[in-house]
Structure 1
Amino acid sequence: MTLFRIKTINAIAPEGLELLGDEYSVDPEDNNPHGIVVRSSQVDVDDYPELLALARAGAGVNNITVDKATEKGICIFNTPGANANAVVDLVFPMIGIWLRNIYQGISFCKSLADVPPDEVSGEVESRKAAFRGVEIAGKTLGVVGLGQIGVRLANGGIQRFMKVYGFDPFPSLDNIHKLFSEVTVTRAMRDTLSQADIVSLHLPVNEKTRGMVDADFIAKMKPGAILVNYARGPIVNEEAVLAALDSGHLEAFISDFPTPAVIAHPKTLTTPHLGASTTESEGNCSRMAVGELSAYLHYGNITHSVNFPNIESIPESTVQTRLIVINKDVPGMIAFVTKVLGNHGVNIVSFKNESNGTVGYNIIDIESTLDQSIVTELEANEDVIRTRRIILT
């Protein structure tokens, strides 16, 4: 029996979708789903009247109308860390390709295809000096943004015998604790930028980070440094970077977000948004996104939400109904909910509440059924955003 309709947008790796049981229908053409799994396409939650939750198989959620979702009581998930290895796995080779002039060297080798075989070795030996490079070891790496990707990149720099500085404006202690002790975490971004031969960006796109890498940011960087962006394109002010490349203040710009102007510049190296494009990463993201979505639809549990507080509760075997109340984070809501239920003689087995400062989220377990009239009374409160009744037995 189908309980939940799931819409997929973009190619979602089957490793995750295979975890869904018979109670789900999965259809990319479903225009009125309960849940959505998406990668990079733009999604406006206004287009889906019965949507309960959306999981983005990736870290950033700038392709989703999150503010609208919050107002409608729609939970938005992402999958932090699921693609971290893939990004780090690409950033270091790209830095090495630039420092060692690998791209030019490969092009030179291809140009020897028409050279007589007995002359190839001589050509290589006489011209290889033009491609002499420098090593990553001994260089100073600056990592701006110490989320799961940034932490792994910083630790990877230490493993490559680099000196590493890191900065995060809103550090997570869980992530910071994973840093190798050799990484220097600075209190100001300037202190990371001024020390680094290579600056790598690992930040989400939001109002504070959009266009953050501007002329002032670049001026704080060490002259001759390399800038790397495998985070999000809009973080970087393209005109400011190109001007710094022209002036020589930046040696190079390595990016996963090609544009005509960037591609055309001789001091750039770009890839076509490949940071998370590995079989392993796509499988990890799919499994994590589906797990988050399933836990929410079945039990109202939340992990890795970007707009709701994280909260989990295991129901007792005697629980028949789980009531979810999503409300604006204002005083008196817990008292209001318990009073309404008490007035109707509803016995509460468990009441769990969490808030993120904007949204209050309540999981209330009940050993009986719950009449719709009680739910209607709760929803009449102007500070209640949405309710759900989950039948457990």
Structure 2
Amino acid sequence: MYQITASTTVAPAGVALFDQDEYQVNYGERPTPQADGLLIRSVDLNQTPLPEKLLTIGRAGVGVNNIPLDQAVEQGVVVFNAPGANANGVKELVLAALAIGARPMLPGAQWVHGLKGNDIDVQVEKGKKAYVGTELLGKQLGVIGLGHVGGLVANSASSTAFGMHVIGYDPYIQVDTAWNLSHHIHHAKNVAEVLRNSDYVTIHVPLTDETAEMLDAKAIAQMKPGSVLLNFARDDVVDEAAIVAALDRGQLRQYITDFATAKLIHHPKVICFPHIGGSTHAAETNSAKMVVQTMKNYLTTGNIRNSVTFPDTAMDFQAPLRLTLIHRNVPNMVGRMTEVLANYDLNIVNMVNRSNGDYAYTMIDLDALEAKRLQRIANKMEQIENVIRVRVIAQPK
């Protein structure tokens, strides 16, 4: 029986997918020494040692900055997230932010709530001229990053309901995502093309070494004067100091973000939300269900999907036994594995190997073996240099 430690903040509908006859679920924010799997949302694990027994971490969301990925990879812990599960929730908040950027709704509502007296209707009619805005119809929206969220935002904004002209840029766009994009969206060749003429710019890229401060002072200087910048991706994909400077000199009219900081929350041209992009009941439930399913699939079959630490790897499980090996991506690893099996006069029923940068994952299916002999083979595999973790999995019944 697999031991799972689950955070109390994870949607119960997801946790309920762990079958009681195969999984024992205990609640906590940190993995216990006995845990095979850890299911979390936002708890920060970066200063938490990962137990030697731990096989997988599931993040019921998208961002994994709260997980020590380098440590996880070195220990052979497969980290899963739930890409796209909260995309609709984030999309809807971005569309609302676009409307807020066009119309001074929030200041107007705050003014109304501060009115006093019995002639509120008269005061409203006299004062409403201070809150005249613009319309989104016909304006240009630049979308940087056309993945799960960015693609939805681009499609919605270019629809007849919004009527915006949309230009998008994503050098790493997936084939399936590209097929789902509206033909009305203009595809830019670079970020500068998006920035130059857009009235509104929204960024939807993951935080990596390449995207950190992607919108810096140089990039912001290329933006259309008086434009509005939206950031519902990650706080560090923009240079906060450069944004404040652009707001102060009028290069940017407004900055709307889901990431509040001390420097931003009191600026008159900034609107900060409390990181609620994916905070809907539907998104939290979808994220929990998705990541639990991928964790279960990995634990019972070894197949990997939606991992941020190892490549997607799947193979039909039709043999009695399966060996899975997490190892460094160095030459002749597969040859050394098959040599061990050849020394035991064993036939490989099926095999797959996938690599991702410095690490790789191999699955080998075998015919039925006597338990002691199987354990000796697993021990031999563990002794191969650069092998990090070996698992033996019996075909699910």
TM-score interval (norm. to shorter): over 0.9
How far off is 1:162 after superposition?
0.4
Provide the secondary structure at the position in 2 that maps to 1:92.
helix
Give 1:214's match in structure 2, choosing from 216, 224, 230.
216
Partner of 1:340: 340
How far off is 1:46 after superposition?
3.1
Partner of 2:166: 164
How far off is 1:10 after superposition?
5.4
Mean Cα displacement is larger for which, 246-255 or 172-181? 172-181
Letter of the aligned partner of 1:187 in structure 2?
K
Query: For 1:98 and 1:149, how far apart are their aligned partners in 2?
Result: 19
Partner of 1:141: 141
2:388 counterpart of 1:378: no
Q: How many residue pairs are counted as aligned between the two chains?
A: 386
2:291 counterpart of 1:289: yes
2:181 counterpart of 1:179: yes
Partner of 2:270: 268
Letter of the aligned partner of 2:323 in structure 1?
L
- How much is the aligned-residue C-alpha RMSD, in angstroms? 1.5
Instruction: Answer yes or no: is the 8 Å Cα contact 2:326–2:387 preserved in 1.
Output: yes
Instruction: Answer yes or no: is the 8 Å Cα contact 1:254–1:270 preserved in 2.
Output: yes
Query: For 1:153 and 1:367, how far apart are their aligned partners in 2?
Result: 50
How far off is 1:358 after superposition?
2.8
How far off is 1:347 after superposition?
2.6
Query: For 1:63 and 1:141, how far apart are their aligned partners in 2?
Result: 31
How far off is 1:157 after superposition?
1.0
Partner of 1:236: 238
How far off is 1:81 after superposition?
0.4
Letter of the aligned partner of 2:26 in structure 1?
D
Q: Deviations over 1:79-120 (max 9, x none)?
A: 1100000001111112212321111211222123x321xx22
Partner of 1:188: 190
Letter of the aligned partner of 1:378 in structure 2?
M
Provide the secondary structure at the position in 1 that maps to 2:111.
helix
Mean Cα displacement is larger for which, 366-375 or 232-241? 366-375
How far off is 1:18 after superposition?
0.8
Instruction: Answer yes or no: is the 8 Å Cα contact 1:10–1:39 preserved in 2.
Output: no
Partner of 2:256: 254
Residues 249 and 10 of structure 1: CA distance in aligned 2, closer, same or farther (over 3 Å)? farther
Letter of the aligned partner of 1:25 in structure 2?
Q
Give 1:97's match in structure 2, choosing from 96, 100, 103.
100
Partner of 1:37: 39
The percentage of aligned residue pairs carrying the same residue is: 38
Query: For 2:41 and 2:311, how far apart are their aligned partners in 1?
Result: 22
Partner of 2:11: 13
Give unmatched runs, 5+ long, in structure 2: none
What pairs with 1:319-358 in structure 2 (closer than 5 Å)?
Answer: 319-358=319-358
Letter of the aligned partner of 1:16 in structure 2?
G
Query: For 1:287 and 1:31, how far apart are their aligned partners in 2?
Result: 22
Query: For 1:65 and 1:174, how far apart are their aligned partners in 2?
Result: 30
Query: For 1:360 and 1:214, how far apart are their aligned partners in 2?
Result: 35
Query: For 2:148 and 2:8, how far apart are their aligned partners in 1?
Result: 24
Partner of 1:68: 71
Give unmatched runs, 5+ long, in structure 1: none
Partner of 1:203: 205
Query: For 1:70 and 1:141, how far apart are their aligned partners in 2?
Result: 39
Query: For 2:95 and 2:173, how far apart are their aligned partners in 1?
Result: 23
TM-score by length of 1: 0.94
Partner of 2:59: 56
Letter of the aligned partner of 1:31 in structure 2?
T
Instruction: Answer yes or no: is the 8 Å Cα contact 1:328–1:360 preserved in 2.
Output: yes
Q: Deviations over 1:173-203 (max 9, x none)?
A: 2222221111111111100111211111111
TM-score by length of 2: 0.93
